[in-house]
Amino acid sequence: MNRTTLDVAVIGAGVIGLSVAYELARAGARVVVLERHLPGAGQSTKTGGGVRLAHGSKMNVELTRMSLPVWEDFPTRFGVDPRYRETGHLFLAQSMQCSATLRDQADLLLNLDVPTNLLDGPGICERWKDLAQIQASTGLHCPVGGYLDHHTVIAGYQRALADMGGHLELGVRVEDVLIQDGRVEGVTTSTGPFPAKFVINAAGPEAGVIAGYAGLKVPFVSRRHELLIVRPTQPVPDILPWLIDTDRQVHLRPDGGGRALIGGFMGRDESTDPKLYTREYSADWARRVRSEVSKAFGLTEPDCEIVEGWAGLYPGTFDYLPVLEESLPGLITAAGFSGTGLMHAPAIGTIVADMVSGRTPDGIDISSLSSGRFSKPSSVAETSGF
């Protein structure tokens, strides 16, 4: 690879970075992706693989809607099957406050023409006989969305990028951003400089560090989350939707073969230092989450068998929406997705490719995702995270 002829250097080979690089290479740009470790080794493969249309903000709904055709047609486009399973999502509430939030969310989704059903407790039990034990008074059901194999997604994007002539440089640590006359013109790394007309900051939990190299202060935060795959005594039916108890703040989805994936913050949605967190799940959290999931859904036992488990980070922002902007001339930031990066990656790839080419992204206004919004007090914009 000739470093002197690059158009774009993408920092980070997570799903966002790979999607961006693929779309740029497909448009004819000379692209390199710089990654310290292995593709997807950061946070892209530490989630539950969720794809969700039922959000609490218009922006996240629009980004998922843009991305869905890619997930549905991924085997044809990329030659690998990520095993996308459309379970849909069912948000449950018992308290008046959480029920009111679900009703507001239903109004938003219906106004955006998202398939949505608002159900009462008996209606939920009548539709899903396996949920007869739940105590929820309100349910919001969206049949569109589910989960996929994020490892296969990473492999598909990586192969497609190579087919388009893009380059992937592993074991490369970005050490600074090159700026000349107010414009970013590349990066310096542990293996030398990479001059480029554009730099894409898709560094996940390290996006704030990269922004700092360019003299910017973007208030990114990272939240630790944990997940378990469990095997209950009675198999969990695959026909169930992804279940989210908004009062207890726990969730469950079928994982095939009678197993279930479970997780939840349980009121402890706390930021953490990306350099200090461990990838092993906490034994105390595993005990508590199994107990709360058992109470919430009645599908698993408090002491059900743990098949595997892990911890990861949701690199995000204070309002739970990403930063997507040209932060400086030549520097585009695409980071802070707060757990939605996988499901929104196809849309972000298309939008960033438009930005590099000088085109206005088609069909979506991303001006609200500028980091300038943090110059004034910000409130939570996405209310449906789990």
Same domain, yes or no: 228 and 133: yes
pLDDT of residue 274: 87
Confidence check: pLDDT of 381 > 80:
no
Confidence check: pLDDT of 379 > 80:
no
Same domain, yes or no: 227 and 260: yes
Same domain, yes or no: 139 and 231: yes
The count of other CB atoms within 10 Å of the CB of residue 103 is: 13
Distance CA 22, CA 29 (A): 10
Per the prediction, the chain carries an average pLDDT of 95
68 domain-assigned = no
pLDDT of residue 1: 78
CATH of the domain at 158: 3.50.50.60
63 domain-assigned = no
100 domain-assigned = yes
**Residue 20: C-alpha distances to residues 49, 172, 303 (Å):** 19, 18, 43
Distance CA 52, CA 67 (A): 10
- Nearest Cα neighbor of 343 from 32, 88, 50 is 50
Token pair 């939008």: residue: 351
Same domain, yes or no: 294 and 343: no
Same domain, yes or no: 140 and 213: no
**Cα torsion 179, 184, 186, 189: sign:** positive
Task: Give tens-digit pLDDT for 221-268.
Answer: 999 999 999 999 999 999 999 999 999 999 999 999 999 999 999 988
The count of other CB atoms within 10 Å of the CB of residue 214 is: 20
Task: Give tens-digit pLDDT for 103-147.
Answer: 999 999 999 999 999 999 999 999 999 999 999 999 999 999 999
Residue 50's pLDDT band, with cuts at 50, 70 and 90, is very high
How many domains are contained in the chain? 2
Pick the residue with more confidence: 384 or 139?
139
Token pair 């400086």: residue: 328
Q: Please, how many CA atoms are within 13 Å of residue 221, restricted to the half-sphere of its CB?
A: 13
Type of residue found at 34: L
CATH of the domain at 120: 3.30.9.10
Same domain, yes or no: 125 and 8: no
Q: What average pLDDT does the segment 288-312 reach?
A: 97
Contact 322, 57 (CB under 8 A): no
> CA angle at residue 343 from 378 to 307, to 5 degrees?
110
Confidence check: pLDDT of 285 > 90:
yes
132 domain-assigned = yes
What lies within 8 Å, CB to CB, of 64 at 6+ separation is 51, 52, 53, 55, 145, 340, 343, 344, 347
Domain of 105?
91-144+221-316
Same domain, yes or no: 123 and 165: no
* Rg from Cα positions in the chain: 21
258 domain-assigned = yes
Same domain, yes or no: 230 and 341: no
Find the distance separating the first CA and the last CA of the chain, reported in whole Å. Answer: 42
Domain end, chosen from 316, 331, 363, is at 316
Distance of CA 322 to the CA centre of its chain: 10
Q: What average pLDDT does the segment 352-367 reach?
A: 94
Same domain, yes or no: 227 and 138: yes
Confidence check: pLDDT of 44 > 80:
yes
Confidence check: pLDDT of 386 > 80:
no
pLDDT of residue 276: 85
Domain end, chosen from 298, 316, 334, is at 316
* Strand extents, DSSP E, 181-304: 183-189, 192-195, 198-201, 221-231, 242-245, 250-256, 259-263
Domain end, chosen from 316, 339, 365, is at 316
Contact 60, 54 (CB under 8 A): no
- Nearest Cα neighbor of 325 from 365, 286, 293 is 365
* DSSP H or E stretch at residue 340: none
**What are 188-195's contacts with CB under 8 Å, separation 24+?**
189/34, 192/3, 193/3, 194/3, 194/6, 194/9, 194/32, 194/34, 195/3, 195/4, 195/6
Distance CA 249, CA 93 (A): 10
Distance CA 195, CA 184 (A): 9
Type of residue found at 366: I
185 domain-assigned = yes
**Residue 274: C-alpha distances to residues 98, 207, 219, 338 (Å):** 31, 11, 14, 14
Task: Give tens-digit pLDDT for 79-103.
Answer: 999 999 999 999 999 999 999 999 9
* Strand extents, DSSP E, the chain: 8-11, 31-35, 50-52, 89-93, 117-120, 138-142, 145-147, 167-170, 174-180, 183-189, 192-195, 198-201, 221-231, 242-245, 250-256, 259-263, 305-316, 323-328, 331-335
Token pair 């914009």: residue: 381
pLDDT of residue 378: 67
Q: In residues, how long is the chain?
A: 386
369 domain-assigned = yes
- Nearest Cα neighbor of 108 from 352, 382, 307, 351 is 382
Same domain, yes or no: 200 and 237: no
302 domain-assigned = yes
Share of the chain above pLDDT 90, in %: 91
